[in-house]
Structure 1
Amino acid sequence: MDTSREVDRLRSALDRIARRRPSMPAPQVLVVAPGLELESGGSQPFHAASVGKVMTATLVALLVEQGRLGFDSPLGKLLPASDVDGLPAAPGVDVRTDVTVEHLLTHTSGLPDYFEPPRGSRTAVSTRTAATEPDRYWSPAALLDEVRRLPARERPGERFRYGDTAFVLLGRVVEEVTGEPFNAALRARVLEPSGMERSSTPYSDARSPADLEGLDVAPFWLGRHELSRALSMSLDWAGGGIVAPPADLVRFQRALHGGRLVSPETLRWMAAPRHRRRRGIHYGAGMVTVRFGEFTPPFLRGLPEPVGGLGHFATHLFYYPRQDAHVVLNFHAYRRMNQSFMTHARIAQLLAKR
């Protein structure tokens, strides 16, 4: 089917978004499917934000397949007391024995989140405060210390609450199991096997602001603050510290869905939706499914349901199994999230016709 007219309309819509806010870069869009490749906004590497959680989850699942740990492994068997002791726990809950790897992957651990803390609580590394100290490096230990300042939430398995705390702990699990720094383990087991030659983890690899001065990365905003050279973005660590060009993210998805990283059975387990964060957004174990039919416009019903990852800066990485299509979006800021989903819905409509 000739979809050139729809592609031209999509390009025009992206141009209008760019003209509307000339102070921000144009959205980056890459769509790759058999007989179709649409690229807009350039190929500069960008901070993928929580899209990186898909890679962390893949790394953990790979280690499970190797027998290094289990999805049902309790944290106390994998981490030292210095990581686990003092973390907030509901009455009667022992984090060492009651919180498992699966709880962390599915955001059901009951642990509070340092980046979006419970109402009435504050941390020095939240959406409201992270930009106030842009030159501060956040180690995993320092992030967990911020968690210790927060009130306890639910019992493990009781309720879904999305957050970054779980993925800091998963990063530490990777380090303890492999005996390697998390970034090195991720690079050797996920990035390099996927052919992601231009991808890196600069914010957590850096130790001073000077280490980021020459970084090739697209600008992104947290509130009104542009933070592409901010050392404080080390707060993402194992929860999404990847900087990658769009094409590298497609390479990762091809490796993941092509069976080169984990088995098809394990991938199905990761992708299977378990909890709804909000209408249309459903979480599995480190992966997200988008159900456009749950969004308000009725004409979105019946569209394909892609699986992948979402990031705070309006970043998308999704795969459409039936269409064998890959979609990468970077809209540079949370305030553009609605625009990013409107664009993704148009892409889904285009792919549904193929």
Structure 2
Amino acid sequence: MVTKQYDKIFSRIVKSKQIHESVLFIQNRNGDFSYKNEYGGKSIDAPLLMASITKLFTTTCILILLEQGKLSLDDKVTRFFDNGKLNGLHLYKGQEYTAKLTIAHLLFQTSGLPDVSEEGKNNLRKRVLHEDMNITIDELIALTKKMKPLFAPNTMNRSHYADINFYILGQIIESVANSSLEGVFTSFIFEPLGLEKTYLVIDEDDFIPSIYFKNNALSLPKYIKSCRASGGAITTAREMMVFIKAFFGGDLFNKEIFRELEKYMKLQISFYPIQYGGGYMRIPLGGFTMFFIGKGELIGHSGSTGSFAFYYPEKDLFFVGDVNQSANPATAVRMAIRLAVSSK
């Protein structure tokens, strides 16, 4: 019966004129229940852009380095940057907070920094719709300095989703591990899990799937290569399933560490009903959520291109997939919610 519900939900999603391809893969922890559905030639072994699900890779690396004793969540961010590069990054109501920013503020999205990817009249998302571009971490920091922070770090009892937080975390990982980010991803995640089709884009010649915006298939090799720790990884639904099980199953780091991450705050209203914890999203299902009533929660991450990877502890189910539509990435979140609610 539940597979019929999954069929119905998937069919409803792909009937949209904006959905040109989609893939859905569902399993329980031990894999004795498995369901997949594919549309538009997108199989569970086809490459897909993880987009912001890449942040789970970045979070994994931070947690492993934390477990190794090489950093602390309370470490000041400026410790990892030379020559005052970050000076003026967080100037709020005339007061400089940059020196007070910690790794925890970045990981929990409580830094108060603005999001140059999505905010402002000429944000990066709008610009790349017209022209593919490279952008460096120094350029991202400079753009962020031109915008106003939303609040002082760890105040207002809320979080504000901003890609710059994870761009900076990527730089910190490279500094602490004394390795390139792709090297750290490989040694900490890809090799231990046997992920052979998952990689961080490091060259414009690396294969990068097209990204749909409405009916337009965009090729953005320069921009995706620039996204790195915030959104630059490629995988398949099958390998994303392996990773999300490992992430929440304690196969990559001590599962007890999650107790430090289970502090959730509401994101800006455009992300409703999503909350943010230590490097991952939480969607509460215990009340009215997107017009559905369910039990428990979804934890994981979604991406701005319609990718998603969530764990539903209430039924011990994992949902991964992609709808590949950057004009309406909330479609993926709504599908994940419907799947969870229908999992009787």
TM-score higher than 0.5 here? yes
CA contact (8 A) 1:277 1:283 kept: no
The answer on whether the counterparts of 2:211 and 2:326 sit within 8 Å (CA) in structure 1 is no
Q: Which TM-score applies when normalising by structure 2?
A: 0.87
Cα separation, 2, equivalents of 1:233 and 1:5: 36
Q: Secondary structure at the match of 1:39?
A: strand
- 1:270 CA displacement: 2.4
* Matching residue of 2:288: 294
Report what 1:56 is aligned to.
58
**Does the 8 Å CA contact 2:295/2:314 hold for their aligned counterparts?**
no
Q: Is the 8 A contact 2:161 2:267 kept in 1?
A: no
Cα distance change of structure 1 residues 194 and 270 upon mapping to structure 2, 3 Å threshold: farther
Residue 308 of structure 1 corresponds to: 300
* Distance change in 2, residues 1:301/1:174 (3 Å): same
Letter in 2 for 1:79: F
Counterpart CA distance in 1 for 2:323 and 2:150 is: 32
The secondary structure found in structure 1 opposite 2:160 is coil
Question: Equivalent residues in 2 for 1:245-324 (5 A)?
Answer: 245-278=236-269, 279-292=272-285, 293-297=287-291, 300-324=292-316
Are residues 1:66 and 2:68 paired? Answer: yes
Q: Secondary structure at the match of 1:193?
A: helix
What is the CA–CA distance in structure 1 between the aligned matches of 2:67 and 2:109, rounded to whole Å? 21
Counterpart of 1:144, as a letter, is I
Percent identity, please. Answer: 22
SS at match of 1:73: coil
Q: Which amino acid aligns with 1:350?
A: S
2:101–2:111 contact (8 Å) kept in structure 1: yes
Tell me the TM-score normalised to structure 1 length: 0.85
**1:92 — aligned with what?**
95
Distance in 1 separating the partners of 2:90 and 2:214: 28
Matched, 1:197 2:180: no
Which SS does the other structure have where 2:26 is aligned? Answer: strand
**Does 1:329 pair with 2:321?**
yes
Q: Corresponding residue for 1:36? A: 34
Contact 1:46 1:244 in 2 (8 A): yes
SS for the counterpart of 1:312 is: coil
1:31–1:39 CA contact under 8 A, matched in 2 = no
Which residue number corresponds to residue 183 of structure 1? Answer: 182
Instruction: Note the C-alpha offset of 1:225.
Output: 5.2
Work out the CA distance in 2 between the residues paired with 1:106 and 1:172. Answer: 17
Structure 1: which amino acid aligns with 2:180? P
Secondary structure of the equivalent of 1:129? Answer: helix
Give the CA deviation at 1:327.
Answer: 0.4
**Which amino acid in structure 2 is aligned with residue 132 of structure 1?**
H
Name the counterpart of 1:128: 126
How far did 1:130 drift?
A: 2.4
Query: What stretches of structure 2 of length at least 5 have no aligned partner?
Result: none
CA contact (8 A) 1:139 1:235 kept: yes
- How far did 1:273 drift? 1.8
Going by fraction, where is strand more abundant, 1 or 2?
Answer: 2
Answer yes or no: is the 8 Å Cα contact 1:88–1:112 preserved in 2: no
Q: CA RMSD in A?
A: 2.3
Encode CA deviations 1:313-350: one digit per residue, 9 max, x unaligned. 12111012232211012111233334323322331133
What SS does structure 2 have at the residue aligned with 1:335? coil
- What does residue 221 of structure 1 align with? 212
Secondary structure of the 1:280 match is: coil
Q: Which amino acid aligns with 2:95?
A: G
Corresponding residue for residue 146 of structure 2: 149
Cα distance in structure 1, aligned partners of 2:95 and 2:172: 24
CA distance in structure 2 between the aligned counterparts of 1:320 and 1:177, rounded to whole angstroms: 33
CA distance in 1, matches of 2:20, 2:215: 14
Corresponding position of 1:80: 82
Q: How far apart are the structure 1 equivalents of 2:331 and 2:265? A: 26
Match in the other structure for 1:102: 104
The CA distance in 2 between the partners of 1:174 and 1:221, in whole Å, is: 31
- Taking the aligned partners of 1:218 and 1:301, their CA distance within structure 2 comes to 35
8 Å contact from structure 2 (residues 246, 252) kept in 1:
yes
Is contact 1:88-1:150 (8 Å) kept?
A: no
One-letter identity of the residue aligned with 1:32: Q
Amino acid of the structure 1 residue aligned with 2:128: A
Between the aligned partners of 1:12 and 1:223, the Cα distance in structure 2 is 19
Q: 1:113: which partner in 2?
A: 115
- Structure 1: unaligned runs, 5 residues or longer: none
CA contact (8 A) 1:110 1:152 kept: yes
8 Å Cα contact 1:133/1:232 also seen in 2? no
SS of the residue 1:336 aligns to = coil
Q: Against the structure 1 CA distance between its residues 111 and 343, is the aligned structure 2 distance closer, same or farther, given a 3 Å change threshold?
A: closer
Cα distance, 1:5 vs structure 2: 3.1
Task: Considering fraction of residues, name the structure with more helix.
Answer: 1
2:297–2:314 Cα contact (<8 Å) kept: no
Aligned residue pair count: 331
Query: Structure 1: how far apart are the matches of 2:113 and 2:328?
Result: 29
Paired residues of 1:195 and 1:252 also in contact (CA < 8 A): no
